[in-house]
A and B are shown apart, each in its own frame.
Chain A
């Protein structure tokens, strides 16, 4: 063993906890959501995520709220007296369901894939260069895989620097690759993807029931009253009817459409592009992801396991002790011990490899995986 080498490694530039702690106090440790590369907005210190353009989410909420409140104020007293007391109860339950599922759709991570680390990107580039032509890299990069005896093309995402997994698409509004990308919904202010599709479906179904219910109740009210009535109060009383009448068709239509998608295990994106139906009849080009059984498809889409968020919003960005030019995975030759620095790459999704070797002193948190709050670091040379 060469003692001199150990001296170079041990005392000098290797991080010890105290300097790291001091560093932390000097520059406050930032959470990963603060350095997230996509165009998203975060609330409550990274707990909630929303698209940058929240679209018409406030309008959606407002419409639902106003319609329901008007219904409760003007129609319920009459209907309770003349029909049954369950009417406001049912209305209340549907309203609560609709609003909660709307908020969950809006504020849940739809299944964003973190961008590739520089090393991954370099590794993939190397593989493409090796396998493809050695000239320019201009041709769009695709990779073919066979899924359930069907050839599927995986596209290379130039923004995220990786081959997109099947069913993943890059949302240009949010600037993220989203797994099982369905569509970007402006009403909800977020993408609809793998992790929040079930919330979205619950939302549109409960909303269709709610609008149909309110429509029915208000129509009944009108019919039972059989009065002419003019004036502002009358107009106000009947506005839920009008709003519901206008929206019930589109919402019911949307629910029907999504029920069809769920039953055939398709996404809106695939349906619109005609990925699995546009080819000739001769080939068997069915959807390779479908279980060919409506019930199984429904259950797997809506009741399947809930994958955790991969972007680790609330984890801490590893503390930097040097310039960012030394990325985590680079190794410097032995004599240059002074350049040994604590890991950090510029990309937010990196975590130091030492995490894999840690003996966790506290259980991992139940909610989306994040570091326990102590920035971990490792040293590579």
Chain B
């Protein structure tokens, strides 16, 4: 795994501590899981607005897909009811499948876009689906497949 080093002098001179920026939920369409696309001022010039909006919009699309009430969810619901919900022991629900996709997407976004800019996006499922949070100015160890991969930001 490649190790990247960035200039830490910059970090040393910056008096700001690590900040967390939270993107809250957008309830304008009810209780479906959506996050606000409004660009937070705390991120400032760390990331381009379009990239940020793209990420949040894609996340919103994924969540909408997970929570879509349509043919497949009805089938799943009826089948589950007919089997006295034992089907949930054997089968992964569609929601869980989409959450895995989201997790992969967030990881990919972090690797490609956010980590080079000194930010880290956390998966909302780890925060009770309340917020998407961005961490900045952090030193992170990632447990890779075979060795440690260090990203210094």
Contact = CB atoms under 8 A, between A and B. Distances in A.
Interface in B109-153: 110-111, 115, 120-123, 125-131, 133, 135, 137-145, 151
A34 to B, nearest CB: 19
A369 B125 contact: yes
Nearest to B96: A308
Interface in A109-141: 113-114, 116-117, 119-120, 123
B123 A355 contact: yes
Interface in A341-381: 349-351, 353-361, 363-364, 366, 369, 374, 376-381
B31 interface: yes
A2 interface: yes
A357 B18 contact: no
Contacts of B121: 356
A97 B107 CA distance: 42
B130 A120 contact: yes
A100 interface: yes
A380 B139 contact: yes
Contact of A2 (B9, B76, B120): B9
A39 B128 CA distance: 18
Nearest to A167: B31
Contacts of A5: 8, 12
Contact of A354 (B11, B30, B76, B142): B142
Chain B binding site: helix, strand, loop or mixed by DSSP? mixed
B145 A307 contact: no
A120 B110 contact: no
Given A120-B131, A358-B107, A166 B137 contact: no
A233 interface: no
B103 A166 contact: no
A27 B106 CA distance: 32
B100 interface: yes
30 contacts: A5-B8, A15-B141, A120-B22, A146-B28, A165-B25, A199-B85, A302-B81, A303-B69, A303-B77, A303-B81, A306-B80, A308-B96, A308-B125, A311-B128, A332-B17, A351-B126, A354-B141, A356-B120, A356-B121, A356-B122, A356-B123, A357-B110, A358-B107, A359-B107, A366-B91, A366-B92, A378-B141, A379-B139, A379-B141, A380-B139
Interface residues of A, number: 76
A148 interface: yes
Q: A-side binding surface: helix, strand, loop or mixed? A: loop
B7 A1 contact: yes
A145 B84 CA distance: 38
Interface in A13-27: 14-15
A246 interface: no
B130 A355 contact: no
A350 B122 CA distance: 11
Nearest to B124: A310
Interface centre among B95, B122, B130 (most CB of A within 10 A): B130
Interface string B12-24: 1000011010100
B145 A353 contact: no
Given A1-B5, A145-B28, A162-B130, A307 B95 contact: yes
A147 B30 contact: yes
B127 A120 contact: yes
Contacts of B31: 165-167, 179-180, 289
Given A5-B12, A148-B29, A349-B126, 15 more contacts: A1-B5, A1-B9, A116-B128, A148-B30, A299-B74, A304-B73, A305-B68, A305-B94, A307-B95, A330-B17, A353-B138, A354-B140, A356-B106, A357-B120, A380-B139
Contacts of A330: 17-18
A15 B140 CA distance: 11
A305 B66 contact: yes
A289 B30 contact: yes
Contact of B128 (A305, A349, A364): A349
A331 interface: yes
Nearest to A96: B84
A237 interface: no
A270 interface: no
A198 interface: yes
